[in-house]
């Protein structure tokens, strides 16, 4: 009973912090203390709990440096004109007849480059919503397409913090995971494109973004060279170069472009890399072209450390024994994936963040995958196809709540975020089909 109360109280604290906008590390820290006290009363030594928590948090150490680098890259890309160029040229590629489809494809491409759903939504996403509002189009449909596209890259970009976290937790290679993710993504991606095409036909829009587009060249020099930092990431990803090296080289390229093309000083760019980018002049672009920086990712690293510690203690003490009993019923690969989907949904609902959903799902199901002789790449793929894409479908999870707030909409986007729920649905169907034909997948 005490554990149930601890779980409920922790959930209430997490949900309260999300609603009020408080830093989620505070309720996580309180939850960690609460569970430690309850488990000690149940006979677990403090030292043993600390060992469990530390052993689990160690798995996240490898990804922390990547998170900090991603913060620096995001800020430098804005200062170098890379993100402004993507917005500027991207908006001009929109087809008024197929606006919804164009919005999905454009955000998908930008998210693959940026590797962050929040960054994608906060840049090209806002620009697209401005166009949608002026064109008097269904905003829930538009935001659904934008958020779905934003999570395409969040799921499988080399710059994605969630992709790097999954690779770190499962002890797998990032680029091999990305290959597996792309293999499981093409069918739901094609289905999503078809659905957005059908909706586009019935929702044409008169695009009027001249005011937005005209302001970007005032503050940034736009040319091919502004896209160089993004091209560095693309080329090195194709060559399967370590993501840390790729990010560092992209920062170097961005700094060079920032100095030579945008006329920033080296000192200014170092400050931007550390604290994030902000336009000196107040304009409508402020909400689009701002943010990033190493400091912005420090909060994320704290959340990751606390989440992995808490998840390690919960898993190590078998606190959620009901999950073990549920997993024991898994009689096939497809059945195990279905249960993993349920676990990830519960983790996303309870944890209120995508990070906690990923970590708790991995901790709770990994033993069953080992028992079934499924390798870590299969586990990584299943986590990417569940926890990563389902978290944004929980209305109070910050994976969906923050993008919705940025786009000034509400949970009405969820039915239109087709790609997010077609990923697990199609993967489950393929596993069922593979079983019936005696074929092994991934």
pLDDT digits (tens, 9 = 90+) for 406-420: 787 888 899 999 999
Are 18 and 103 within one domain?
A: no
Are 26 and 113 within one domain?
A: no
Record the tokens describing residue 165, joined without a space. 């976290």
Res. 267 pLDDT band, cuts 50 70 90: very high
pLDDT top residue among 229 and 210 = 229
> For residue 109, what are the β-bridge partners?
none
203, part of any domain: yes
- 191 Cα distance to chain centroid: 21
Q: What's the confidence (pLDDT) of residue 107?
A: 92
Could you give the CA distance from residue 239 to residue 20 in angstroms, rounded to a whole number?
A: 44
Are 66 and 38 within one domain?
A: no
Are 221 and 126 within one domain?
A: yes
The boundaries of the domain holding residue 13 are 1-43
DSSP letter (8 states) at residue 124: I
Are 2 and 30 within one domain?
A: yes
Could you give the CA distance from residue 380 to residue 171 in angstroms, rounded to a whole number?
A: 9
pLDDT top residue among 258 and 323 = 258
Res. 270 pLDDT band, cuts 50 70 90: very high
Element holding 82 (H helix, E strand): helix 82-92
Could you give the CA distance from residue 382 to residue 388 in angstroms, rounded to a whole number?
A: 10
Out of 295, 315, 346, a domain closes at 295
Could you give the CA distance from residue 271 to residue 264 in angstroms, rounded to a whole number?
A: 11
What average pLDDT score do residues 83-93 get? 82
Res. 388 pLDDT band, cuts 50 70 90: very high
427, part of any domain: no
Whole-prediction pTM? 0.82
Q: What's the confidence (pLDDT) of residue 322?
A: 58
Are 150 and 281 within one domain?
A: yes
Are 39 and 69 within one domain?
A: no
Q: Could you tell me the sign of the dihedral formed by the alpha carbons of 104, 221, 213, 73, in that order? A: positive
Mean pLDDT, rounded, of the chain: 84
DSSP string, 131-175: HHHHTT--HHHHHHHHHHHHHHHHHH-TT-HHHHHHHHHHT--HH
DSSP string, 290-320: -B--HHHHHHHHHHHHHHHHHHHHHHHTTTT
Could you give the CA distance from residue 145 to residue 150 in angstroms, rounded to a whole number?
A: 9
423, part of any domain: no
Are 39 and 161 within one domain?
A: no
146, part of any domain: yes
Q: What's the confidence (pLDDT) of residue 421?
A: 92
DSSP string, 336-400: HHHHHHHHHHHHHHHH-SHHHHHHHHHHHHHHHHHHTT--HHHHHHHHHTTHHHHGGGSTTSHHH
Region for residue 115 given its phi and psi (left: phi exceeds 0; alpha: psi -120 to 50; beta: otherwise):
left
How many domains does one find in the chain? Answer: 2
Res. 192 pLDDT band, cuts 50 70 90: very high
Is the pLDDT at 204 greater than 80? The verdict is no
433, part of any domain: no
Judged on CB neighbours under 10 Å (0-12, 13-18, 19+), 373 is exposed
* Cβ pair 276, 298 in contact under 8 A: no
Are 3 and 114 within one domain?
A: no
pLDDT top residue among 45 and 330 = 45
161, part of any domain: yes
């Amino acid at each position: 009973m005490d554990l149930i109360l601890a779980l409920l109280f922790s959930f209430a604290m997490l949900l309260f912090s999300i609603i009020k906008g408080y830093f989620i590390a505070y309720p996580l820290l309180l939850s960690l203390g609460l569970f430690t006290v309850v488990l000690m009363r149940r006979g677990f030594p403090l030292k043993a709990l600390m060992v469990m928590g530390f052993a689990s948090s160690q798995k996240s150490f490898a990804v922390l440096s990547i998170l900090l680098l991603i913060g620096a890259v995001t800020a430098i890309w804005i200062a170098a004109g890379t993100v402004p160029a993507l917005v500027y040229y991207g908006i001009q590629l929109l087809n008024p007849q197929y606006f919804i489809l164009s919005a999905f494809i454009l955000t998908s491409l930008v998210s693959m480059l940026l590797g962050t759903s929040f960054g994608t939504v906060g840049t090209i996403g806002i620009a697209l919503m401005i166009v949608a509002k002026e064109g008097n189009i269904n905003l829930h449909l538009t935001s659904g397409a934008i958020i779905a596209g934003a999570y395409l890259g969040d799921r499988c970009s080399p710059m994605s913090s969630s992709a790097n976290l999954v690779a770190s937790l499962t002890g797998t290679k990032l680029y091999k995971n990305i290959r597996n993710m792309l293999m499981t993504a093409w069918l739901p991606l094609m289905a999503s494109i078809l659905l957005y095409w059908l909706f586009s036909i019935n929702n044409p829009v008169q695009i009027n973004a001249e005011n937005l587009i005209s302001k970007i060249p005032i503050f940034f020099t736009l040319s091919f060279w502004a896209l160089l930092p993004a091209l560095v990431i693309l080329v090195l990803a194709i060559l399967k170069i370590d993501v840390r090296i790729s990010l560092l080289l992209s920062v170097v390229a961005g700094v060079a472009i920032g100095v030579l093309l945008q006329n920033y000083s080296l000192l200014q760019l170092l400050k931007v890399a550390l604290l994030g980018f902000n336009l000196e002049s107040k304009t409508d672009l402020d909400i689009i072209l701002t943010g990033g920086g190493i400091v912005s990712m420090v909060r994320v690293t704290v959340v990751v450390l606390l989440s992995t510690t808490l998840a390690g203690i919960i898993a190590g003490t078998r606190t959620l024994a009901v999950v073990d009993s549920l997993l024991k019923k898994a009689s096939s690969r497809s059945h195990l994936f279905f249960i993993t989907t349920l676990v990830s949904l519960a983790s996303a609902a309870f944890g209120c963040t995508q990070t906690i959903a990923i970590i708790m799902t991995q901790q709770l199901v990994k033993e069953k995958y080992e028992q079934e002789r499924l390798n870590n790449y299969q586990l990584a793929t299943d986590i990417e196809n569940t926890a990563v894409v389902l978290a944004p479908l929980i209305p109070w999870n910050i994976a969906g709540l923050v993008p919705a707030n940025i786009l000034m909409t509400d949970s009405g986007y969820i039915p239109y975020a087709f790609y997010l729920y077609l990923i697990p649905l199609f993967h489950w169907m393929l596993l069922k089909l593979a079983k019936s034909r005696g074929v092994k997948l991934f």
